[in-house]
A and B are shown apart, each in its own frame.
Chain A
Amino acid sequence: MPFGTGHSSHEDATAAGSEAARTALAGLDGAAADLVIVYASIRYDLAALLAGVRAVTGETPLVGATTSGQFAEGEFTPPGTAVSVMILGGGRYQYGTAVVGGISADTTAAGRDLARRAVDAAGPQPAPHGALLVLADGMAGDMQGLLTGLYRVTGARIPVVGGAAGDDRTFAGSSVFHGGDVVANGAVAVWIGAEQPLRVVSGHGWRAQGLPMLVTRVEGQVVHEIDGRPAAEVYRETIVDDGAAPVPLGARSDWRTAHSFGLIEPDGTQVVRGAYIDENGAVNTFTPLPEYCAVQIVSADQQDLLDVIENVVEDALSGIEEPAVMLTFSCIARLDLLRDREGEEAARLHKAAGSVATFGFYTYGEFARSVGVSGYHNATITALAL
């Protein structure tokens, strides 16, 4: 499949967009462009940046998101003024893009709407297989709700991959892109129609420690009780204080990054849910925990995180005929924890993927749905090979 990637750190938004898009387009070697993916820093005038990209790519469907760091073909770009562009072409896949705004009002309804529009945009003759690529403003509410909405429309056969947009760790707000539009509190999706089944994979490298516990009272992101006791008390008892570890510039200092909740899945594995103590002393999770869920404390060190990469890549590429690119989404939590080794992830991804080009960004949450309706993660690395 013809494709190209481009990157720019130009200070001027329009110039940066055009520069990255031109490099990416050159990689296509004349093949027709089908889809443009743009990952950019919030530090840019994003409308101007997209105008710069579209000055090069014209009316080719465009999706994208703001990020907290990017990576492409082994090169790591830390959070800060930069844009990465990937252009997919050659007509191998069928793409339908769509956007919805105001998702915080009802993420499930928004998810349903988004999936319908994306499927409609792909045209009247759907391919036999497919996947959904979703980029969303993850700070706009319950992202599992968004997945539930998508699932009701596309069903169990369609895997979902993607990430929650970042904002260079400023927590100032993130946006997604569709065409020339910059949408806050929104989500954008690409229906990817394929002749062969597609797979979405993920991994995190975190390990359970200690006994399982039952979360007995939750209100949104606040966990009030665990095992019938005040959650903060249990959390403090269970978690080794790693607060002294230096956090990267801009990262949350109230987040004990090396320890999280592991939501126990039906198959015994854990879905990681990052947690922190807020200014009122209450335990919060970035993604709400379901009430009465079973959890364990999970922890990871830098080596654990990096060692999972090869498995994820192998899993992603298996069963895909002649994969060309691997769309990858890695959590900002990984970056926060990798600290001085932050560049290694991109390099190891690149090495493991061999001739397959890796392209992705650091997210505020990952979409990786392949079994059942669940599929919103924290602290994972997630991928789809095309």
Chain B
Amino acid sequence: MDKIAPDEAGERLREKLAGATAAAADAYRQTSRLIRVLTVLGQPSSPTELVERTLAVLSQVYAADVTVSARVVAGRLQLTGTCGIPEGDAAYTDGWPLAGAAAEAIAAGTAIARTGAALDPDTDFPPSLAGLAPASAVWVPAGEDGTADELLIMFRSRPDGFPSADLPVLRSVASRLRLAVQARRRSATVENLARLGHRLTSCLDLPTLYDEAARLFPILVGGAEGGVVTIEDGVAALSAATRTDVLPDGYSPQVAKLWGWEALSAGETYCGVHDGFPMGGSVLAVPVMRDDAPAAVLYAFRYDGVPFRSEAAEAGTLFGTYVGVAMNNAELYLALQASENSLRLITESISDLIAVVDDAGRFVYASPSYERELALPPGRLLGTPVAALAHPGDRAAVAAALTGPAHTPTIEYRLLTGEDRWVWVESALRPMAADNTVVLSSRVIDRRRRLEDELRRRATHDPLTGLANRALTADRLNAALARVDAPDHVGLLFCDLDKFKDVNDRLGHDAGDQLLVQAADRLRGCMRQGDLLARFGGDEFVVLLDGVTDLDDVRAAGDRVVEAMEVPFPLLDERVEISASVGGVLGVRGHADPATMLRDADAAMYAAKHAGRGRAEVFDDAASRRSLDRLQLRSDLAFASARGELAVHYQPIVELSSSRIIGFEALCRWHHPVRGLVPPDEFIPLAEETGAITAIGEWVLGQACRQLAGWRRLLSGERLGISVNLSPVQLHQADAAARTLKVIEESGADPADVWLETTEHSAIRIDVNEFATTLRAAGVHFALDDFGISYSSLSHLKRLPVESVKIDRSFVAGLPDTATDRGIVRAVLAIAESLSLTVVAEGIETPEQHADLVALGCQLGQGYLFSRPVPPDEATALLLAGVPQPSAA
């Protein structure tokens, strides 16, 4: 035995393996071809789709450039499906000649495959393939009982032919395709019959019935056009057709001239292909038999000349009997109508709309007034469901009322008139137990409904802008919050136009109104569908956002509103600039409370205004709670003075070297009945927001000055100073100077003993010139309260005739060890000295601080080391006894 080298053996094994793999791949491909075609045949689809899909899969699995299914019709091949023949090819209308291999395959009933030279281009290639030059092709016949009348054809441009082993598979594919298509067609026809047949029963007059039959018949049998010919006394008359131009008007031939009359007169269907008049192509005719003779003939036509199949003829016969039954019904109805003529005379004179409705909700009778009042001819209404005429929004209610008339004796709904207009109708329903019908007595209530609608609109809308009003908004908000099954939340925006009052004052109310209307339009542009826009009066707009994800959505909507208002408004030939302050909140459906949401949105809007106008603020729960708190405090503050909850306390200002009291700083205190002592840094900003600060400030000034006058008397004229804080808001008052001076003068105090303390910040922001000049002239002094904290610019000192500055407690706290604080204190003292200002150090708490300030050359000071702010009695006691001398630590 020869020895085989291991490499060689390996190589042989590899070759064998490759061969086996290739054989397996081939076998798999063959198997998969058949399975893929069978899979397509098993999928649900219409007959046409089935053919197209199968041909596409065949093209894929056999690499065929063109696949065609065709039927032999009158010696030609009529294409029933193609893959690879372009649209518009003449083959779709003319078919192909039955020649060459195609003819042979049909004649012999066997599949034929040809490749290369075996192909005869003259007879084997149909005209559609010009330019494709097929190199191989196969023709596979299919048919019943040994007679083949259909072909599956495939052409390949590649020369690899269809091997004989493929042919049995292809025969199986072709016949399965044929069977599958037939089965699909049958079931489609039955479905169509079931779907279309009942439509005839609702036609209660003959012309409508014929029209409907002419329309439905070709749909059922796969024709292009349809027609109905009626027969009376041996003469045919065209009663309906889908195309009216096929026969001349009044065409009425003798029946014997009708195509296939012999078959028709015997009650059989007729299929044929005809040229010329009245319509070339194939024809299917079905007689409608009464008393053993055709009373009418139903026609379906196809332009392409493809004969109607036997399934179509079967379905046509069934449809013919449906038409016969419907004709009987219509004639009976006609007779019934005649007998009701007298009743008609009565009902015609009634303007009410009277109708009888069957148990399926369809008109079986409608009075002539339907045509007069609603332009709906009774003839057209018969068989129509009442609900079908009702507005989609009312349909369910109408249907329900007709089903249970005993529960719904009357119903109001919108009805579509013959002039395509909706009118409101009120119907009284009376059930007739005898025949399960309902008598509808209706009248048009359009005018009344319109009036009601208008009243309703007026009650819920703002007349100026047409927007929703507060009541409607509350309703809608309630409803939105109650929809707990919705996955999202509800947002609410409060918008207030900044400077609207200025516009109103400057340009008049008409212009103001115009501005509101324009603003409303802009707001509409910011809304999404389903949002509600409302005006609560004045310049206050509200937006209900039904369906937001989170607070960010609300903020985004608020920002849109702000942005929309930034564009100037054209008003009386000028461009008016306003802005909007917007507050927004988020409400969780099923949890949020409408009133709370409205209140919080209002508060958020107020916060936006406070933060500088022309912006949007949104409140989350915590912000809402804080705002609620502030709101409460604000409203309490309004009454604090009247309820005697405010008091003035006094902190001595001493000469640091001797601890001698040279004056007091007056400080306001609020004893809240519930919260106790409210810190000034909490309630003073609130008072400034609400404007209450003016009254409070003047009250404090008055109290302090009167106290000062009292002390002066007690000290027998010894000089004593009083420092009172002045809010920037007070400086804003138009007559601030006069009012302040009046308070001082009325108290009996000497203006020269009064020191008004203001902040550097407010001195910069407000033009205080006139105020300062007036008061300074009267002898009042000014002190700067927060020197060095904010805008430390010496030039600011010139704006106010300041004679004293205070060193803030934060710097004093750092003494003596913090170098920066000490540096600042030293600098302030140096500046003050160079400008001849007195300096008061605030917040002295320890002897060390005291000692250091003295060492730095500071002369005056105040702080807990000497005394906290105390009530007037205690202050008087201090004044008499002196503050304790600080002892060095």
Contact = CB atoms under 8 A, between A and B. Distances in A.
A290 B58 CA distance: 13
Given A156-B84, A371-B158, A290 B36 contact: yes
Interface stretch (B59-67, B175-183, B266-274): B59-67
B342 interface: no
A151 B84 contact: yes
A99 to B, nearest CB: 19
A194 to B, nearest CB: 13
B86 A157 contact: yes
B86 A371 contact: no
Interface string A154-177: 111110000000000000000000
B330 to A, nearest CB: 41
A155 B39 contact: no
Interface stretch (B24-32, B203-211, B789-797): B24-32
A296 B32 CA distance: 13
A371 B29 CA distance: 18
Given A152-B87, A212-B24, A371 B63 contact: yes
A266 B24 CA distance: 14
Contact of A372 (B28, B60, B86, B132): B60
Given A266-B63, A373-B60, A294 B157 contact: no
Interface residues of A, number: 33
Interface in B123-145: 131-132
Contacts of B35: 214, 292
A212 B28 contact: yes
A267 B25 CA distance: 11
Nearest to B27: A212
Contact of B63 (A157, A208, A210, A265): A265
Contacts of B26: 268
B59 A372 contact: yes
Nearest to B131: A157
B28 A264 contact: yes
B56 interface: yes
A293 interface: yes
A371 B31 CA distance: 21
B86 A154 contact: yes
B64 to A, nearest CB: 6
B29 A372 contact: no
Contacts of A348: none
Given A148-B56, A372-B60, A372-B64, A267 B132 contact: no
A75 to B, nearest CB: 37
A267 B28 contact: no
Contact of B86 (A155, A208, A268, A373): A155
B65 A371 contact: yes
A154 B31 CA distance: 31
Interface string B411-450: 0000000000000000000000000000000000000000
Contacts of B28: 212-214, 264, 294
Interface in B382-405: none
A153 interface: yes
A376 B350 CA distance: 72
B61 A155 contact: no
Contact of B36 (A212, A213, A292): A292
Contact of A291 (B24, B36, B158): B36
B21 to A, nearest CB: 6
Contact of B65 (A129, A152, A156, A290): A156
A374 interface: yes
Contact of B59 (A208, A294, A296, A374): A374
Nearest to A148: B56
Given A156-B132, A291-B39, A214 B32 contact: yes
Given A151-B83, A158-B86, A267 B63 contact: yes
A214 B28 CA distance: 7
B84 A155 contact: yes
Given A292-B35, A292-B39, A211 B21 contact: yes
A153 B60 contact: no
A129 B132 CA distance: 11
Contacts of A268: 22, 25-26, 29
A116 interface: yes
Interface string A181-225: 000000000000000000000000000101111100000000000
Interface in A90-132: 116, 128-129
Nearest to A373: B59
B29 A294 contact: yes
Which range holds the interface residue count of chain B?
A: 35 or more
Interface string B1-36: 000000000000000000001101110110110011
A294 B31 contact: yes
Contacts, number: 101
Contact of B87 (A153, A208, A266): A153
B160 interface: yes
B24 A211 contact: yes
A114 B588 CA distance: 49
Given A371-B65, A372-B59, A293 B32 contact: yes
Contacts of B57: 290
B120 interface: no
A265 B160 CA distance: 13
Interface string B638-662: 0000000000000000000000000
A156 B68 CA distance: 12
Given A155-B89, A290-B36, A373-B60, A264 B25 contact: yes
A109 to B, nearest CB: 12
Contacts of A296: 25
B564 interface: no
Contacts of A373: 56, 59-60, 83-84
B85 A294 contact: no
A105 to B, nearest CB: 16
Contacts of B21: 208, 210-212
Interface string A268-309: 100000000000000000000011111010000000000000
Interface string B77-105: 00000111111010000000000000000
Nearest to A292: B35
B45 to A, nearest CB: 12
A343 B544 CA distance: 58
Contacts of A151: 56, 83-84
Contacts of A371: 63, 65, 156-158
A152 B49 CA distance: 13
Task: Determine which residue in A152, A208, A211 has the highest number of CB atoms from chain B within 10 A of its CB, and name it.
Answer: A152
A44 B65 CA distance: 41
B253 to A, nearest CB: 43
B593 to A, nearest CB: 43
A152 B82 CA distance: 8
B31 to A, nearest CB: 7
Nearest to B53: A148
Nearest to A155: B86
Contacts of A294: 25, 28-29, 31-32
Contacts of B39: 291-292
Contacts of B24: 211-212
Contacts of B89: 155
A266 B166 CA distance: 12
A374 B25 contact: no
Contacts of A158: 86
Contacts of B82: 152
23 contacts: A116-B87, A148-B83, A152-B52, A152-B83, A152-B87, A154-B87, A156-B66, A208-B21, A214-B32, A264-B28, A266-B29, A267-B158, A268-B29, A290-B57, A290-B60, A294-B25, A371-B65, A372-B60, A372-B63, A372-B65, A372-B84, A373-B84, A374-B59
**Top 9 A-B pairs ranked by shortest CB distance?**
A155-B86, A156-B84, A294-B28, A156-B65, A292-B35, A266-B63, A212-B28, A373-B59, A294-B32
Interface of B: 21-22, 24-26, 28-29, 31-32, 35-36, 39, 52, 56-57, 59-66, 82-87, 89, 131-132, 155-158, 160
Given A152-B82, A155-B84, A214-B28, 4 more contacts: A156-B66, A156-B132, A371-B157, A373-B84
